[in-house]
Structure formats: structure tokens, C-alpha cells
Structure 1
């Protein structure tokens, strides 16, 4: 090995120093580090991983690879992996528990060292079974075992903040575009919507609650349905930002001004929400932070280290799609 020759030590000494297992004199360590710097030497991460019985890859299960929601979280994962020697394998579960199961089995067959599951429909028991084979970190649920961790945001309180903001602006006829049925996040946001109305002494009207699907088209169709059924409302809370984009388009096509005629609030704070016309008031999820935190937590599980993680709270970001009711 060139580094060993330049430093005047054996190749095994260089290897032990790089692995942190060598007990050598300061002079030898200094000589080795000087040789590494001079030669711009980078240890072969894959070779080191193989010696430890690792593939130096982690699997990531997203639900929709085309969604900017997952883009932002994956950016956090990618930054979290920088400098670690790990590479990622990304697969999609398409919001389908059967497909999620198949993708996780595929990743296990490829000998990944751990898995990050970004949301999804799998039950906790199933995740814990997979965690018997490889460490798993999942978002959108609460788990804490030696091989499985789950991080969950307070969707109910986020929805409560959104509706409370509209109530404080004087709105009482607040429509809600929900997420897909049987979706954990969507269900919790509906609960938060109802709680905000109840605590404000506003009667719940199921005619103002219209099913969406977390996509732009779903938001457009939902609000169009409200108009077709002659519902009266002064504000719309959409269960996510993509739905809010569809709501905005529907209102624009009908010549309805935002926020002069109808106020609008989303949920996520996607990067594009700062650039809608007008910029969208929304509930900010720490998407990037969740990616970084999930990655750091998974690497800690893989290395048998304690996990110290705290997810930043949701927050209301007030922009220009909300105003006091006329």
C-alpha cells in the first residue's frame, strides 16, 4: 500500500488506524495521516463495509416518487447520507400495503443495512416483523424498539391551527377538502378541523366537507362540487398544499378572488407554496428535517448507538391567501 510505504509502517497498521482500532505512537499516527493527506487517499467504503458484513446501502420506501412532498424529505435523507459512505436504493409503495410489503422484501433481498419507510399503510406489527431482519425507521407513526423507530407529527393540532386562524379572521363557513379515505394523516386532520369548529362554537356541517385525494385534481373537483351543490362558504382549508393548488385553480376559473372573496389555507408548506398567486397560507411540516432526522436515526440503529432525535413542531405560516372576512 502506497500510504504504508510513505509513512514507513505496515499496511495492517494503516488499516487499523483508519478503523480506529490501532494503538500506535503519536509519531506513527501523525506519519500515516500526513501520508493520507499528501496522497489525497480516500478509504474504500465498500471494502470496509464488506469487512463488517455490510452492504453500505439503505433502502427508502416512498409512496409517490412524483410528489414534491417526498422530494423535500428525500433531500433531507440525501444530505444526511453525505460523508457516511452509504448509498440509497429508492422504491415506491404507491400508498398500497401489499406493494409496500413487496418493496421491503425486495430491499431485504438486496441486503440493505436498514430501511427508511416514508409514511404508508403498513401496520405497526408488520413493520416490527421486518425490523427483526433489518433496522427500520418510519415516519407517520410512533414506534420505539431496539430495531424500529417511528416519528409522528401532530396532524390534528396542525389542522386545528389552520382552522383556528380562519376563525380568528371571522370565518364561520369553512369548507374542508379532505385527504384520501382510510389515510392516517387525513383522518387526523379531519379530527383537528372538527375540534377547531367545536371549540369556536361553530356547528359542523358535513356538506362543507368534501373528499379529496392529496392531488391537485382532487382539490379542483372537490371545490367544484361545493359550487354545484350551492354551498355557501367564505374559506377553504385543504388537507395538503397540492389540494390547495387545485382549489386555487377552480376559484380562478370561476372568477373568484383569493383572498378578497374566499380565503384559502393548505397543509405542508411545499417549496412551491411561496410562489403561488398569491403565496399560500399553510401549515409548515418540517419535511427536510424529517428526512435528516430519519437518516441519522437509522444510521444510529445500524451502528448500535443511542438515538437522540426531536422533530420540530408544525407551525402556521401566514402568507397572502387569507384575510379577514368581509
Structure 2
């Protein structure tokens, strides 16, 4: 029986040093794509199978990262996780995904579970935990979090300007001539939702329009809340020509309600969402929305975490929010 291929065999086959092969396998190499591909091709040809557990024991690493999402059924997190998955390609790292269910105590419990499983670092996608609690956990393992502004040697956080995004959506509707614009809020205790409400109010104020509290309806970021909010607006006989929903899922619910009532979008009522989920380009009609760089957030968070794990400085430059105009808005 032939002896198993070794790291030295791979290095000879690829024409690189053994240390280069090792650094490519553990995700610390700074090499060209051509050299990386040559090493991966040599691994395939030689049948080399790196012993990740042995590598981990030697370095005190598990080569796994933990990911805390809030709702594993949400397409919002699906797109971000796709970025995380692509960010882990060719790094030798695997991920363990758990859900915090938008509950600070459950998030903390899930992080403790991940730490007990010896993950090398954690990506926290949104959540309700206080920054101080995140920083405490980061003393044990590096953490990168979305939806919060953090920067220490072991923790990095980045957040998008939700108020600006909401302002963009409202400016679009106002420029189309809409003045009676309803708003479907997100959860009352959600920071992103509060900032989007501020953006809604700011755009109206700048246009010299007083916000009508009867046009602001509480929601919860889910489809059913959009449907119920639109039903409330119609049942209370509020006059409006446009609806801005705090996220795309709520906008889907609003659209369904209007459809059932025989109200045409955008002929009778314009509709704008927030997130630009993959399905929003395929609704009927396609949804005008604010695009969050969800995939980029996942990929950048992953790259940043791997740098922190390796003791390197990390910073996150996230693409800005942008308005995506499709077919659910029109001029009055």
C-alpha cells in the first residue's frame, strides 16, 4: 500500500515551500490567487488530506468559527450567511451556526455554548446584547458583530446608517409627489427600526410636512405585520398614496393586503421596502427598496474575524446603503 501523501509532497508538486502550503491551509498566507490555485490543484493530485485536528491541537485552535444569527428562517440572514460561507472558502475553517431568537439572554447562552466548543472566534449577526456584554465575551475569543460600532483588539463591530437609508426611501417618494406616506414600523425595541422611523420623520420635516401619527403603524419585521398594518390603515379609512415599510418582509405583507382589497401597486398606492432581499426583484411588481449589502457584510465580517484570530488588525469598510428603484413606485 502506498504511503499517504505528505505536505512536502504537495509543496514539491506545486513548486512552493512547505511553509507556504501550511499557511495556505490554515488561512494565513498572503499569496496570489495563481499560487493558491496551484497548491489546491497539487493537493487534489496527490490526495493529501491535512489532519485538521492535529493542526488545531498544535496551534491551540479548532479551525471553527461560531455564527450567531437571530432567525435561521429569515432570508435576511440567508444572504449574509452566504457571504460568510464564501469568506471561509479555502481557509480551512468551518462554521457552527446557532440562533439567538432576538433575545439577549439566549444570545449570551449561545455564545457560551460556542466558547465551550472551543471555536476560534464568533460572528454575531445583529442582536439585542449590550455592547459591554459583547466586549466581555471578546476577552475570551475574538468577536465581529454587525449592527453595532465596536473596535478593540479583540472585537470589531460595524453598522449601517439606517436613518439615512429611510431618508433615501422617503426622498424618493416625496420627489414623486407623494405627501400622505404611511410607515410600517419595525419592533419597538429594535435599534435599526427606531433609526428608520427617525429617517421617515426627518424626510417629512425637511419637506415641510408634519408627520401624521395615524399613518405610523407598529409592525415587527415579519410579513404578517405588514398585512395587519395595511389592513388597519384601510379599515381606519386613512388617506395615503404611498407606504414605506421598515423592511422588505413587511412590504410583502402590505402588498398582499392591497392586492386583496383591489388596490393596485403602483397605480393607486406606491410601495417601498428596506433590505433588498433576493426575492424582492421577483415580487409582482418588483419591489422598490433600500439595498443593504447583506452578502458583503457576511464576507467582510468573516475576513475581519480571521484577521483578529491571527492577531492582525482588522477594520471593516462596508458599502453604503442605496436606493433600488423598481416597479412599485410611480409619480403622483
Q: Normalization by structure 2: what TM-score?
A: 0.89
Aligned to 1:53: 60
Name the SS of the counterpart of 2:298 in structure 1. helix
Name the SS of the counterpart of 1:268 in structure 2. coil
Report the Cα offset of residue 307 of structure 1. 1.4
> In 2, Cα distance between the equivalents of 1:316 and 1:251?
23
> In 2, Cα distance between the equivalents of 1:154 and 1:315?
11
Report the Cα offset of residue 153 of structure 1. 0.4
Taking a change above 3 Å as real, the CA distance of residues 88 and 17 of structure 1, as seen in their structure-2 partners, is closer
**Aligned: 1:263 with 2:277:** no
Taking a change above 3 Å as real, the CA distance of residues 253 and 132 of structure 1, as seen in their structure-2 partners, is same
Report the Cα offset of residue 39 of structure 1. 1.9
What whole-Å deviation, never above 9, does each CA across 1:187-238 have from its counterpart, x for those lacking one?
Answer: 0000000000000111111110000000000000011011111111000000
Taking a change above 3 Å as real, the CA distance of residues 141 and 15 of structure 1, as seen in their structure-2 partners, is same
Aligned to 2:203: 196
**Structure label with greater radius of gyration:** 1
Aligned to 2:213: 206
> In 2, Cα distance between the equivalents of 1:75 and 1:173?
38
Report the Cα offset of residue 17 of structure 1. 6.2
Aligned to 1:41: 48
Report the Cα offset of residue 182 of structure 1. 1.1
**RMSD of Structure 2 on Structure 1 (CA):** 2.1
Report the Cα offset of residue 18 of structure 1. 4.1
Contact persistence 1:116–1:298 (CA under 8 A): yes
**Aligned: 1:88 with 2:95:** yes
Q: Could you tell me which of 137, 152, 158 is aligned with 2:165?
A: 158
Contact persistence 1:171–1:234 (CA under 8 A): yes
Aligned to 1:224: 231
Aligned to 1:284: 291
Aligned to 1:307: 314
Deviating above 3 A after TM superposition, structure 1's stretches of 4 or more consecutive aligned residues are 1-7, 14-20, 32-38
Taking a change above 3 Å as real, the CA distance of residues 53 and 174 of structure 1, as seen in their structure-2 partners, is same
Taking a change above 3 Å as real, the CA distance of residues 39 and 252 of structure 1, as seen in their structure-2 partners, is same
Q: Map of 1:138-149 to 2, 5 A cutoff?
A: 138-149=145-156
Name the SS of the counterpart of 2:323 in structure 1. strand
Taking a change above 3 Å as real, the CA distance of residues 49 and 160 of structure 1, as seen in their structure-2 partners, is same
Name the SS of the counterpart of 2:67 in structure 1. strand
Name the SS of the counterpart of 1:149 in structure 2. strand
Contact persistence 1:3–1:36 (CA under 8 A): no
Name the SS of the counterpart of 2:274 in structure 1. strand
**Aligned: 1:295 with 2:302:** yes
Aligned to 1:99: 106
Taking a change above 3 Å as real, the CA distance of residues 33 and 202 of structure 1, as seen in their structure-2 partners, is closer
What whole-Å deviation, never above 9, does each CA across 1:147-205 have from its counterpart, x for those lacking one?
Answer: 00001001000000000100000000000000011101000000000000000111111
Taking a change above 3 Å as real, the CA distance of residues 147 and 233 of structure 1, as seen in their structure-2 partners, is same
The alignment of Structure 1 onto Structure 2 pairs a total of residues equal to: 309
> In 2, Cα distance between the equivalents of 1:82 and 1:58?
13
Contact persistence 2:141–2:154 (CA under 8 A): yes
